[in-house]
Amino acid sequence: MPRHFLRDDDLTPAEQREVLELAWAFHEDRFLRAPLSGPRAVALVFDKPTLRTQVSFSVGVAELGGFPLVVDGRLAQVGVRESVPDVTRVLDRQVAAIVWRTFGQDRLEEMAAVSRVPVVNALTDDFHPCQILADLLTVAQHHGGLGGLAGQRFAYVGDAANNMAASYLLGGATAGMHVVVAGPEGYLPPAAIVARAEEIAATTGGSVTVTTDARAAVTGADVVAADTWVSMGDEDEAADRLAALADHQVDAGLMALAAPDAIFLHCLPAYRGKEVTAEVIDGPQSVVWDEAENRLHAQKAVLTFLLEHR
């Protein structure tokens, strides 16, 4: 059976460390390994708008020696014109792996249940695990290496019910970090995600805190992260979201509460003046461009890991 990467806790702490070490090695030598030489194709299926994901996976597959086969989800209409299992059976006879950026996590799980090749979550409404690996690599590069991840205080502020918050909870706990997520009432993570993160943290020495107090979350933090307040699919709720989340903007005053050497992360696209001010995201503590580049290295590492652990 192939290994899949559908959510952050599909990797054990030791496996996450192995992937991050490989990602770091790819950062140092982009052509270190070529598990897709041939070239073997990887299907990149996009149901949602994309820039960083399409670019980083396309470049990454090519640098691994493979061929990035981009499938436009609007044309393929996976699950509409053909069922998810039927589409999967067409793809897995011709490609080495399937990367899917889609809406429901259940669609991804339905694909993985029948696929004979690895399936990778390139974002769903519930999780964004490749982004979290890139973020962990970025934190390690700026704060003490991979061995320094455990024990760091990671504060996420904003819509704490979204996919990024869920992945920060699971992925951060796996890395042994002290993860704090802050959002207003009505924008807090599902209880099941918090419980799973607490379960992981109990084995790694990390911890999990959920709060409505953004200032308390950020105080003393080594890392501060934000995300858009209006995720893809939430556009009809934009006005309500902007009003509800207004007190959870990351500005200079909030960043001043973090550790003096704290870094700022944002998975992009960013909306200056809403979830973050320009002086923060364009300021000296921001490492968002390193973070964006690290999608490439992290995803190459994930693909290599999955292909070599079948």
Is 178 in the same domain as 113?
A: no
Q: How many domains does the chain have?
A: 2
What pLDDT, on a 0 to 100 scale, did the predictor assign at position 143? 94
What pLDDT, on a 0 to 100 scale, did the predictor assign at position 74? 85
Report DSSP letters for the chain, one per residue.
----B-SGGGS-HHHHHHHHHHHHHHHH-TTS--TTTTTPEEEEEESS--SHHHHHHHHHHHHTT-EEEEEEHHHH-BTTTB-HHHHHHHHTTT-SEEEEE-S-HHHHHHHHHH-SS-EEES--SS--HHHHHHHHHHHHHHTT-GGGSTT-EEEEES-TTSHHHHHHHHHHHHTT-EEEEE--TT----HHHHHHHHHHHHHHT-EEEEES-HHHHHTT-SEEEE--SS-TT-GGGHHHHHHHTGGG-B-HHHHTTS-TT-EEEE-S---BTTTB-HHHHTSTTB-HHHHHHHHHHHHHHHHHHHHHT-
Supply the range of the domain harboring residue 183: 131-291
- pLDDT tens, position by position, 179-197: 999 999 999 999 999 999 9
What pLDDT, on a 0 to 100 scale, did the predictor assign at position 225? 98
Q: Is 30 a catalytic residue?
A: no
Mean pLDDT by 10 residues, the chain (310 residues): 96 98 98 97 95 96 98 89 95 98 97 98 97 98 97 98 98 98 97 98 98 98 96 79 94 98 97 96 98 98 93
Q: Is 141 a catalytic residue?
A: no
Q: Is 227 a catalytic residue?
A: yes
Is 40 in the same domain as 89?
A: yes
Q: Check: pTM over 0.85? Answer yes or no.
A: yes
Is 162 in the same domain as 284?
A: yes
Is 104 in the same domain as 212?
A: no
Is 155 in the same domain as 287?
A: yes
Is 54 in the same domain as 169?
A: no
Is 268 in the same domain as 299?
A: no
CATH code of the domain in which 281 resides: 3.40.50.1370
Is 143 in the same domain as 251?
A: yes
Q: Among the options 7, 125, 126, 131, which is catalytic?
A: 131
Q: Is 81 a catalytic residue?
A: no
Q: Among the options 7, 52, 128, 196, which is catalytic?
A: 128
Is 123 in the same domain as 266?
A: no
- pLDDT tens, position by position, 74-124: 888 888 999 999 999 999 999 999 999 999 999 999 999 999 999 999 999
Is 139 in the same domain as 278?
A: yes
Is 218 in the same domain as 285?
A: yes
Q: Is 178 a catalytic residue?
A: no
Is 105 in the same domain as 191?
A: no
Q: Among the options 227, 248, 266, 299, which is catalytic?
A: 227
